[in-house]
């Protein structure tokens, strides 16, 4: 790979590192935020969920926007807004201002992430180079999470507001590097014209009677806002219903679930009728993509629920300081080292599906080993579970990304990445909500509540094993000189070195 290509990958890795460190630093600061702003456990959960809901709710829109308006534009503009609202979060004087800031930064990340991922999947040739780039990319996200656990604890010891100000500096550096390095991809009209030429070459167009030949126009760029709003509303209402299920009247819970279902059905109807749907229904005929999305949602459901429980257990029950908690959680970041080093070798030898399954089985073992939680459990007894979860993340996350985007047409790489990260973030939001709800079933004793809530990650990991991708994800082979397009309706893959005419 050329120096410029490595520079592009460095910028994209910086963005995913920013997202990882942003989430992890907040985890370490949660108890301090609760103490200063006087938040309840449910309100504290919404500080976390606001980000993942904005992230997951707008991820599909972000993925489609990257395909339509250019990946560079949809990466850099949201990054600038992310910078501004992260700073606003540091200035928040109450819980709901903080929730708003987190929701907006999550929505910005929803545009940045699929744009960055599609730069890799559409710009790197299929084979070992793309696999290595994807695994380095996912491993960098894990590194951000690991560093965030420690740095977040240190910053919180000074003032929890620095947890929001630190990403401002990092985002500014990424923005400054991305402006000259990121390639300009072709915009939607150029893409549509190229797609139209491909169709014309295979099937003569039919023109209205009396029309002059060649006067047809490429379809307009269309962004499916109704679809984005309905699916976001559906996710929001569903998570709200789960979070309030144990302390709200049953009528309210049923009403929220019913409204969520109505919005979901409306979303499906909109997508079937839209000339440019947010999610093309035919993409779900790719079974590997469907399995990767279901597995990703369940895996992150368990992971985020588990780390939420552990942070509260160490900080509030055991009385550990923020730096001590961050260092204790550092074992979860084992994927930062293993993902770019060990995982590619395992994928080459065993294939993506088997590596993913191995990671999920390790997660089941790790969560189950944490179930006999005691009020004075030694860290040496907790460490194996934390380390195994870090290894599980290394084995599952990157290969899931590969499986979910492999074989998808270049014109829908943003959509495929958006679907996968929507599943990741929906699973995270559901894990936080379900964990909070189950904790309330444990009664007034915090230890009993934590033990009961640990069932959520265990069951999530078991279900992830059941639906994980199967044997079609073969070991990676050497790259082929050419690869036929899966459909004539999509443009050929464009290398990173190419500069198009996009204004983004």
Q: What is the DSSP string of 341-395?
A: HTHHHHHHHH-HHHHHHHHHHHHHHHHHHTSS--TT--HHHHHHHHHHHHHHHHH
Yes or no: say if 174 and 108 are a contact pair by the CB < 8 Å rule.
no
How close are the terminal C-alpha atoms of the chain, in Å? Answer: 24
User: Are 52 and 428 spatial neighbours (Cβ–Cβ below 8 Å)?
Assistant: yes
Tell me the CA distances in angstroms from 334 to 138, 162, 337, 422, 457, one per residue in order: 12, 25, 6, 24, 19
pLDDT by position in tens, the chain (length 504)? 566 777 888 899 899 899 888 887 887 788 888 888 888 877 787 787 788 777 777 777 787 788 788 888 899 999 999 999 999 988 888 888 899 999 999 899 889 988 888 888 777 777 777 777 887 887 787 778 778 877 888 888 888 899 999 999 999 999 999 888 887 754 444 444 444 444 444 444 444 444 444 444 444 556 678 887 888 788 778 777 776 666 678 898 899 899 999 999 999 899 888 887 777 778 888 888 899 999 999 999 999 899 889 988 998 888 888 788 878 888 887 777 787 788 888 988 899 999 999 999 999 999 999 998 888 888 999 999 999 998 998 899 889 988 888 877 777 777 787 788 778 877 887 888 788 888 887 677 888 889 999 999 999 999 999 999 986 444 444 333 333 333 333 333 334 443 333 434
Quick one: which H or E segment has residue 320?
Answer: none
Query: What would the two tokens of residue 372 be?
Result: 């006999």
Query: Which residues, 6 or more positions from 422, have their beta carbon under 8 angstroms from its beta carbon?
Result: 56, 57, 59, 60, 293
pTM of the model: 0.72
How many Å is the maximal CA-CA distance in the chain? 84
Exposure string over 37-74, b if 16+ CB within 10 A, otherwise e? bebeeebbbbbbbbbbbbbbbbbbbbbbbbbbbbbbbb
Which pair of tokens denotes residue 17? Answer: 């590192």
Return the structure tokens found at 138.
């996912």
The DSSP symbol for 124 reads S
Tokens 């990703």 belong to 296
């Amino acid at each position: 790979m050329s120096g410029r290509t490595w520079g592009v990958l460095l910028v994209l890795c910086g963005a995913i590192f920013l997202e990882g460190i942003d989430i992890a630093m907040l985890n370490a600061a949660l108890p301090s935020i609760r103490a200063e702003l006087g938040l309840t456990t449910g309100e504290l959960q919404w500080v976390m969920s606001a980000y993942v809901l904005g992230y997951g709710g707008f991820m599909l829109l972000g993925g489609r926007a990257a395909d339509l308006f250019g990946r560079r534009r949809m990466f850099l503009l949201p990054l600038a807004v992310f910078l501004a609202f992260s700073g606003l979060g540091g200035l928040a004087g109450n819980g709901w201002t903080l929730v708003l800031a987190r929701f907006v930064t999550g929505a910005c990340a929803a545009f940045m992430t699929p744009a960055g991922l599609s730069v890799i999947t559409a710009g790197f040739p299929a084979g070992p180079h793309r696999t290595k780039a994807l695994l380095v990319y996912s491993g960098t996200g894990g590194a951000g999470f690991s560093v965030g656990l420690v740095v977040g604890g240190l910053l919180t010891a000074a003032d929890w507001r620095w947890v929001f100000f630190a990403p401002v500096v990092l985002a500014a550096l990424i923005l400054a590097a991305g402006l000259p390095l990121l390639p300009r991809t072709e915009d939607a009209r150029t893409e549509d014209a190229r797609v139209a030429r491909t169709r014309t070459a295979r099937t003569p167009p039919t023109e209205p009677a009396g029309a002059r030949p060649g006067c047809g126009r490429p379809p307009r760029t269309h962004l499916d806002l109704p679809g984005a709003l309905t699916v976001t509303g559906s996710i929001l209402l569903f998570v709200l219903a789960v979070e309030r299920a144990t302390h709200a009247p049953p009528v309210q819970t049923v009403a929220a679930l019913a409204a969520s279902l109505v919005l979901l059905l409306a979303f499906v109807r909109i997508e079937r009728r839209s000339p440019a749907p947010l999610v093309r229904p035919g993409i779900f005929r790719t079974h590997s993509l469907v399995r990767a999305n279901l597995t990703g949602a369940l895996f992150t459901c368990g992971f985020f629920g588990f780390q939420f429980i552990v942070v509260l257990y160490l900080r509030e029950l055991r009385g550990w300081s923020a730096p001590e908690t961050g260092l204790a959680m550092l074992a979860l970041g084992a994927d930062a080292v293993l993902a770019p080093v060990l995982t590619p070798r395992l994928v080459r030898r065993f294939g993506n599906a088997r590596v993913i399954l191995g990671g999920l089985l390790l997660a089941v073992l790790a969560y189950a080993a944490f179930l006999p939680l005691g009020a004075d459990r030694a860290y040496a007894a907790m460490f194996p579970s934390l380390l195994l979860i870090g290894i599980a993340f290394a084995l599952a996350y990157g290969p899931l990304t590969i499986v979910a985007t492999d074989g998808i047409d270049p014109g829908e790489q943003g959509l495929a990445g958006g679907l996968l990260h929507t599943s990741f973030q929906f699973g995270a939001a559901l894990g936080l909500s379900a964990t909070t709800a189950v904790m309330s079933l444990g009664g007034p004793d915090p230890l009993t509540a934590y033990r009961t809530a640990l069932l959520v990650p265990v069951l999530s990991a078991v279900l992830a094993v059941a639906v994980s991708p199967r044997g079609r994800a073969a070991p990676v082979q050497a790259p082929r000189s050419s690869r036929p397009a899966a459909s004539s309706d999509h443009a050929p893959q464009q290398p990173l070195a190419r500069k198009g005419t996009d204004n983004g």
